[in-house]
Amino acid sequence: GPAQGLPDSPVGTFSQEMYDLGKKEGWVIVSMKNDWKKIFAFEE
């Protein structure tokens, strides 16, 4: 299933293994739900 206990979705998710690899490799992983206003703060 999707990483971080998120609901299963046909698009926009990846496995816990991929999430863990990303964290290990220093990827910036964002949540479109939780981080949208931080990423696009200039739109307000």
pLDDT of amino acid 20 = 94
| Strand segments (E) across 1-44 | none
Instruction: Tell if the pTM clears 0.75, that is, is over it.
Output: no
What pLDDT digit, counting tens, does each position of 11-35 carry? 778 889 989 999 999 999 888 888 8
Please state, in angstroms and rounded to a whole number, the distance separating the CA atoms of residues 23 and 26: 5
Provide the 10 A C-beta neighbour count for residue 3.
Answer: 16
Q: Where are the domains of the chain?
A: 3-43
**13, 6 in Cβ contact below 8 A?**
yes
Is the model's pLDDT at 8 over the cut of 80?
no
Please state, in angstroms and rounded to a whole number, the distance separating the CA atoms of residues 36 and 44: 12
Residues sharing a CB contact under 8 Å with residue 38, sequence separation 6 or more, in sequence order:
none
